[in-house]
Structure 1
Amino acid sequence: MYPPAGYSKAKPGEVCHLRRSLYGLKQASRQWNHEFCTKLVAYGFVQSAHDSCLFVKHSGAVFLVLLVYVDDVLVTGSNLQDILDLKSFLDTTFTIKDLGVAKYFLGLEIARTPTGCYLNQRKYILDILSDTGLLSCKPATTPFPAGLKLIESVGPPFADPERYRRLIGRLLYLNLTRPDITFCIQQLSQFVTNPFDTHWEAALHLLRYLKGCPSLGLFFPARSSLSFQAYSDVDWAACQDSRKSVTGYCIFLGSCLISWKIKKQTTVSRFSAEAEYRALGSTVYEIQWLTYLAKDLHLDIPTPIPLYCDNQVALHIMANPVFHERTKHLEIDCHLVRNQYKAGLISPVKVPSSSQLADLFTKALGAGPFQSLLSNLGLIDIHQTPT
């Protein structure tokens, strides 16, 4: 193995003599990634500058896309023979195990039909319910009770903090396919250092909701338009402890939900329009990144991209080129969002609060509004019993 970067004792031409397996060394992951990337580039792939795990090969009629996670690889392309040739190359170079068409990948269950592709984590959820003893519990209709807002310390401390941390750590992985519980997981993960009984009860309520829909997952139709649309929302001063606002957004490619996020803002906003504008800035960052990825995949995304917001004041600030007393401290976000608006990347659209899909990512809703918004996120349950 070549000496790692920063090691100055090795003389020119010297290499490291391994006394144990490469997998036992701290440099293993870096060395493996370097070797794997070098071989793929030599084969004709181009590594994306915007996601180092993505490799694309586009030459004439050949179009291959490879996504790598440590030593697990997903491959797709426009021609089966090109995929087989790539597998043969990888097997010759590294000795791989070909598992065929992807059905189970890193805890994700993948089902394909002529109408589209379906992702879920049913087995993973059932394992969590089994380990917590809630396989036979009564299901809940919503992830959180309506209007619930957790605070740092109410009631007695939870007797087993390590158990709470293990549960939240497992729930975090569900964010890959379950946008409906993203808000709840974000709220619960704030208290892993010092959980209280109220936090544990909220986590159990979330598990009871998962008991009622363990196979709910994302559906990506085979035929869908290649156009982005984004929803941005904020819950102003939502955190009862710090009074910081919570940003939530979701982005669609056609009818497919491809990106969503909820995060507490880093600063306290003095009024709701300021919080909304910061949320717009975060959404535009994500839109820019997705457009870069689309270019890497040679997709032609039409612009401007509709950006739906339910705050009229924030939309006026975007269109108004003059900074005034209420917005001068928002200069960075204002420049970002307004510049992309003027460049034609985004098109702000006023949407009623009842149709704001990002509302699902910023607060605990009642059963009616929750189910109404959930039906528009592209989530389906293929194991659901017909009624």
Structure 2
Amino acid sequence: MVYLLLYVDDIVITASSSEQLRSVISSINAEFKLKDMGALHYFLGIQVQRSSDGFFLNQHQYALDLLERAGMQECRPCSIPIDTNGKISGNSGTKLDAAASSSYRSIVGALQYLTMTRPDLQYSIQQACLHMHEPTTNHEALVKRILRYVRGTANLDLHLRISNITNIVAYSDADWAGCPDTRRSTSGFCVFLGDALISWSSKRQTTVSRSSAEAEYRGVANAVAECTWLRQLLDELGCAPEQATVVFCDNVSACYMSSHPAHHRRTKHIELDVHFVQEKVALGQCRVLHVPTTQQSADVMTKGLPT
């Protein structure tokens, strides 16, 4: 079994055996001139460290370069990347001038790439991205706080463990009406393959939800859509999941709606999401189960949390 990722100038190839790997490289080399760089250690700013039980991915050097670029390589570290007391309004603070606004967008854009291996930064950077069009001094302070957090946690890695388990488990959460300007909700999910975190998201919803159940259900639909794509990908790679994907949600109403098409009049405004999830449940590809809020891993994707 061979997996191939093609980028602009580089190719990363992995196979289930060294013999098969050499065979694939020889076949490609017969058509194109290749330079074998050996085992993967560094790729597109991501450092790869091998161990007996998997891979460690980190962007330590990228983080240090970003801090130097922002002039904060000697800043005082902080323990959390965003305040836990609430979201920042788009109107708070004083509007930045053109030069400061350009610098803000540049730094936030660079921070986005850091979320490739740092799911703990996803929510705070998503909040900073919401104000790219017109940043203020308060938004600038948020970015500086994120950078201070990066300064103290630059050595954190993402561990992808070796496992024979191909079951997918997801956690979905939503912060109902959390945006102080539009009252839109923020939904997020974390997806695990075995015990390895492989996908995560924090995103403001496109519409205003009229209840917490609606906001949570839209978050579940996003998680189910991601899991559906991952199941199809694993199937193409020859290791299709044998069991239904379990999606955990801490809202009882959202869990109930996923398998019981009741109260149709009350859910008509979210009918597409309802039918999409119910279809996956009916096909046996997905199960939506309740999880206590204290065990909700996706909480970190929807709000600022204490240490």
Q: Does 1:102 align with 2:45?
A: no
Aligned to 2:20: 82
- Residue pair 1:229, 1:307 contacting (<8 A) in 2 also: yes
> Partners in 1 of 2:3 and 2:238 — Cα distance?
11
Give runs of aligned pairs for residues 124-139 of structure 1, distance below 5 A: 124-139=62-77
Aligned to 1:118: 56
Aligned to 1:345: 285
Bigger-Rg structure (1/2): 1
> Partners in 1 of 2:140 and 2:71 — Cα distance?
14
Residue 268 (structure 1) shift: 0.7
Aligned to 2:88: 150
Residue 340 (structure 1) shift: 1.1
Give runs of aligned pairs for residues 245-284 of structure 1, distance below 5 A: 245-284=185-224
Residue 331 (structure 1) shift: 1.2
- Residue pair 2:189, 2:201 contacting (<8 A) in 1 also: yes
Residue 92 (structure 1) shift: 3.5
> Partners in 1 of 2:110 and 2:259 — Cα distance?
43
Give runs of aligned pairs for residues 277-316 of structure 1, distance below 5 A: 277-316=217-256
Q: Does 1:240 align with 2:170?
A: no
Aligned to 1:91: 29
> Partners in 1 of 2:74 and 2:150 — Cα distance?
12
Residue 324 (structure 1) shift: 2.9
The higher relative CO (CA closer than 8 Å, separation ≥ 6) is in 2
Give runs of ≥4 in structure 1 deviating > 6 Å: none
Give runs of aligned pairs for residues 42-53 of structure 1, distance below 5 A: none
Query: Which of 325, 332, 335 is equivalent to 2:272?
Result: 332
Residue 154 (structure 1) shift: 1.3
Which one is further off, 283-292 or 150-159?
150-159
Give runs of aligned pairs for residues 127-276 of structure 1, distance below 5 A: 127-159=65-97, 160-223=100-163, 225-276=165-216
Post-superposition Cα deviations, 1:296-316, rounded to whole Å, max 9, x if no partner, equal 111131222211000011112
Which one is further off, 321-330 or 296-305?
321-330
Aligned residue for 1:94, secondary structure, equals: coil
Residue 224 (structure 1) shift: 5.1
> Partners in 2 of 1:240 and 1:104 — Cα distance?
41
- Residue pair 1:234, 1:245 contacting (<8 A) in 2 also: yes
TM-score (norm. length: structure 1):
0.76
Residue 264 (structure 1) shift: 1.1
> Partners in 2 of 1:337 and 1:324 — Cα distance?
15
Post-superposition Cα deviations, 1:107-163, rounded to whole Å, max 9, x if no partner, equal 110000112210010000000111222222211101112123111121211231111
Q: For structure 1, list consecutive stretches of 5 or more residues without a partner in the other structure.
A: 1-62, 368-387
- Residue pair 1:110, 1:118 contacting (<8 A) in 2 also: yes
Residue 170 (structure 1) shift: 0.4
- Residue pair 1:229, 1:305 contacting (<8 A) in 2 also: yes
Q: Which amino acid aligns with 1:203?
A: V
- Residue pair 1:119, 1:218 contacting (<8 A) in 2 also: yes
Aligned residue for 2:31, secondary structure, equals: helix
Aligned residue for 1:275, secondary structure, equals: helix
- Residue pair 2:231, 2:240 contacting (<8 A) in 1 also: no
Aligned residue for 1:326, secondary structure, equals: helix
> Partners in 1 of 2:180 and 2:86 — Cα distance?
11
TM-score (norm. length: structure 2):
0.96
- Residue pair 1:154, 1:196 contacting (<8 A) in 2 also: yes
Q: Which amino acid aligns with 1:235?
A: D
Aligned residue for 2:115, secondary structure, equals: helix
> Partners in 2 of 1:113 and 1:106 — Cα distance?
20
> Partners in 1 of 2:57 and 2:266 — Cα distance?
45
- Residue pair 2:247, 2:287 contacting (<8 A) in 1 also: yes
> Partners in 1 of 2:42 and 2:270 — Cα distance?
45
- Residue pair 1:239, 1:245 contacting (<8 A) in 2 also: yes
Residue 70 (structure 1) shift: 2.2
Q: For structure 2, list consecutive stretches of 5 or more residues without a partner in the other structure.
A: none
Q: How many residues align?
A: 305
> Partners in 1 of 2:110 and 2:288 — Cα distance?
37
